Amino acid sequence: MTTAKPNPIVDVWNKPFWQACAEGRLLLQRCGETGRCWYPPAPVSPYAPKASWEWVECSGRGEILSWVVFHQKYYEGFADELPYNVTMVRLEEGAQLLTNVLADKAELAVGKPIEVTFDARGDVTVPLFRLAGSAA
């Protein structure tokens, strides 16, 4: 029996993000003063705290900044996937996310282009990434 992977906690600030993921869309908040996007969702812009902000749909494309490969299971739900990567990606819109890239660890490299894909996990759909142009 496989144990479920841990799911994110949905709250008032990140609910639009998770709702969009369920629809196969990637949303970020964008600062009304600087035009910069950020993640994770928050009630104020990290770039100009008094500025207004809005939700914008993103391209889902970006690049790998860094990664680690976990060989230890920290959550029972990942036991069948060892080893797995935890990857820092930068989206075209500038926001950085910690995520998983669906690729063999030998294929990961700084600067490699990535694109979003989505993984439905019960009540929540999680954005993951794959190498751009791959079918993984």
The model's pTM is 0.90
* Residues 8-50: tens digit of each pLDDT: 999 999 999 999 999 999 999 999 999 999 999 999 999 998 8
What pLDDT shows up at residue 24? 97
Backbone angles phi, psi at 68, to 5 degrees: -130, 155
Which range is least confidently modeled, 45-49, 53-57, 60-64, 93-97? 45-49
pLDDT of residue 113 exceeding 50: yes
What pLDDT shows up at residue 1? 44
CA–CA dist 19, 105 (Å, integer): 30
Q: What domain count does the chain have?
A: 1
Sheet bearing 124-131, strands edge to edge:
96-99, 84-91, 61-70, 113-121, 124-131
CA–CA dist 123, 64 (Å, integer): 28
Q: Residue 49: inside a domain, yes or no?
A: yes
Residue of 3 and 50 predicted with greater confidence? 50
pLDDT of residue 3 exceeding 80: no
What pLDDT shows up at residue 115? 98
CA–CA dist 65, 55 (Å, integer): 24
Q: Residue 71: inside a domain, yes or no?
A: yes
By C-alpha distance, which of 46, 10, 14, 7 is closest to 28?
Answer: 14
The b/e string for 36-57 (b: 16+ C-beta within 10 A; e otherwise) is bbbbebeeebebeeeeebeeee
* Residues 68-105: tens digit of each pLDDT: 999 998 888 888 889 999 999 999 999 999 999 999 99
What pLDDT shows up at residue 99? 95
For residue 58, give its domain range: 15-131
Q: Residue 96: inside a domain, yes or no?
A: yes
Q: Residue 40: inside a domain, yes or no?
A: yes
